[in-house]
Structure 1
Amino acid sequence: MSLTSIELFTPQLPFTSHSCAFRIAAYQDSDFATFAQPLPAKLSRAVAKRKAEYLAGRYCASQALKALGLPHTIIASAESRAPIWPAGIQGTITHTRELAMAMVCDDPAILGLGIDLERKMSLKQEQELQTQILAKAEQPAFERLGQVHACPLTLIFSAKESIYKALYPVVQRFFGFEAACLVEHSDNQLCFTLTETLHETLPQGTRISVYFQCNDELVLTECCLRADV
């Protein structure tokens, strides 16, 4: 399997990123050795899709870390499946349908990073999945977003994925989509408030902003948790 570096988007957060394209049909287990990444025992019996996505994500993370000046790095996974980054590094990985991306930073003021790539949902999916992703309190903001974007639910879903990734290093536990409520948006940001206290530094009512951009097929969202949030 080849991993082809590409520029999917220009990220809005000022951190180092790397993205690539790959073909699941071309995957074979020897690809891990080719790219100097170990095949985790947990994935030994996984389907090719899962292995290819994991490898592509770790490859992007390794390339982003190299751009920061770090040597080749193996990014293992915790029991929670969250990536284990080198000391002093915050990072995040995402993949969707044969595309992968990673972002890293070494700024001590950044407590967590989250990015998420999504293929745009069909209109049918946008309609069918609203009750699973949206809370009633988000409906007004969702409708306003839908007046200017054709895929508002995809944007919100992706943003909540990015929020989870960015906050997890501090929260250190699972929390659901209902923990963040969309309240407003601008041309390139979605603004959420926390509906519950996730950590002593993240009380109910905390505002979380997520950058977003999209093209004809994809949505990218980006979130970072700063020490002064």
Structure 2
Amino acid sequence: MNRLPTCCAPLQHHWPLPRPVAGAVLVSCAFDPSQLAADDFQRAGIEQTASLQRSVAKRQAEYLAGRVCARAALQRLDGRDYVPGTHEDRSPIWPSAVHGSITHGKGWAAAVVAADGACRGLGLDQESLLDDERAERLAAEILTPAELARLDRSQLGLTVTLTFSLKESLFKTLYPLTRQRFYFEHAEVLEWSADGLARLRLLTDLSPAWRHGVELDGQFCLHDGHLLSLVSV
């Protein structure tokens, strides 16, 4: 019987984002690396690889929390008991005919999954909100010239954090479909609104189906200084 690790709070089965994705399941939990117990991987029934054994408590706790959420989401999706492994490129290994994404930040982790018939890809990302000073330093690395030109400096921290997060979610969505890496300059956020909806455009060719100029919808929500974004196709 798999049990909840000591470092993890009870799981939350919910949909915090503004627009439901038909057939998708999202599970999250808070976690505390300082509460990580020596037997937490064994307790949860999750393999602790050699590299994880050598890693710091923060890395172990966030990996454990993310995989616990992923397993719970898959159980709710179709009843299977499955913990995603890890590809050499560090992306999760999902069951065939299932799309999913895992994210973790400061003390919070989540996973979202959906069956192949419901969607073709999902990308989920969580970030702590940048303060304006750090956002100013990072803006030129994250935003394209067009994004910088229309940047509203009254919402500097939010805009830079949101742009970063949406592009991360976009990458998590499209990388499993194309196996092509791309970077911040290869996508732009065209618009976003206070109701949590956004629109992105791809600025590079990744595959015959995913070419320069393709536009996708994104969504996001804010909670306690954290931002959660999702891109689905």
Q: CA deviation at 1:151?
A: 1.1
In the alignment, what sits opposite 1:37?
A: 46
Q: Which runs of structure 2 are paired with 1:49-68 in the superposition (5 Å)?
A: 49-68=58-77
Determine whether 1:210 maps to 2:218. yes
What is aligned with 2:93?
84
Partner of 2:148: 139
Q: 1:45/1:148 Cα in 2 relative to 1: closer, same or farther (>3 Å)? A: closer
User: In structure 1, what is the Cα distance between the partners aligned to 2:78 and 2:190?
Assistant: 39
Closer/same/farther in 2, CA of residues 188 and 141 from structure 1, 3 Å limit: farther
Amino acid paired to 2:8: L
Q: How many residue pairs align between the two structures?
A: 223
Q: Structure 2 CA distance, aligned partners of 1:155 and 1:38?
A: 33
What is the rounded CA distance, in whole Å, between the counterparts of 1:52 and 1:126 in structure 2?
28
Identity of aligned residues (%): 33
User: In structure 1, what is the Cα distance between the partners aligned to 2:65 and 2:143?
Assistant: 31
Alignment of 1:26 with 2:26, yes or no, is no
Q: Provide, for residues 34-90 of structure 1, a one-character-per-residue CA deviation record: whole Å limited to 9, x for no partner.
A: 111101233221111111110100000000011113322121000111100011110
The answer for the alignment partner of 2:20 in structure 1 is 13
Distance 1:117 1:82 in 2: 16
How much does 1:28 deviate? 3.1
Shift of 1:192: 1.5
In structure 2, do the counterparts of structure 1 residues 112 and 141 end up closer, same or farther at CA, with 3 Å as the change threshold?
Answer: farther
Q: Deviations over 1:87-146 (max 9, x none)?
A: 111000000011000000014252211011111111211111101111112123432xx5
Q: Is the 8 A contact 2:135 2:157 kept in 1?
A: no
Match of 1:223 in 2: 231
Contact persistence 1:103–1:115 (CA under 8 A): yes
The question of 1:120 aligning with 2:129 is answered yes
1:169 aligns with 2:173: no
1:128-180 per-residue CA deviation (whole Å, 9 max, x = no partner) reads 1101111112123432xx55686111111111110010111112132111110
- Report the more deviating stretch, 181-190 or 27-36: 181-190
SS of the aligned residue for 2:204 comes to coil
Name the CA shift for 1:109/1:18 in 2 (closer, same or farther; >3 Å).
closer
Tell me which moved more, 3-12 or 108-117: 3-12
User: Residues 19 and 102 of structure 1 are in contact (CA less than 8 Å); yes or no, is this contact kept in structure 2?
Assistant: yes
User: Would you say the 8 A contact 1:141–1:182 is kept in 2?
Assistant: no
Indicate the SS of the match to 1:130.
helix
What is the CA distance between 1:199 and its match in structure 2?
1.1
Specify every segment of 5 or more residues in structure 2 that has no aligned partner in the other structure, as ranges.
Answer: 1-5
Using structure 1 for the length normalisation, give the TM-score: 0.90
Alignment check: 8 A CA contact 1:141 1:184 kept? no
Range with greater deviation from structure 2 (95-104 or 124-133): 124-133
One-letter amino acid of the structure 2 residue matched with residue 193 of structure 1 = R
Name the CA distance, whole Å, in 1 between partners of 2:14 and 2:79.
Answer: 23
**Mapping 1:164-203, distance limit 5 Å:** 164-186=171-193, 187-203=195-211
1:2 aligns with 2:7: yes
User: Using the alignment, how far apart are the partners of 1:55 and 1:46 within structure 2?
Assistant: 12
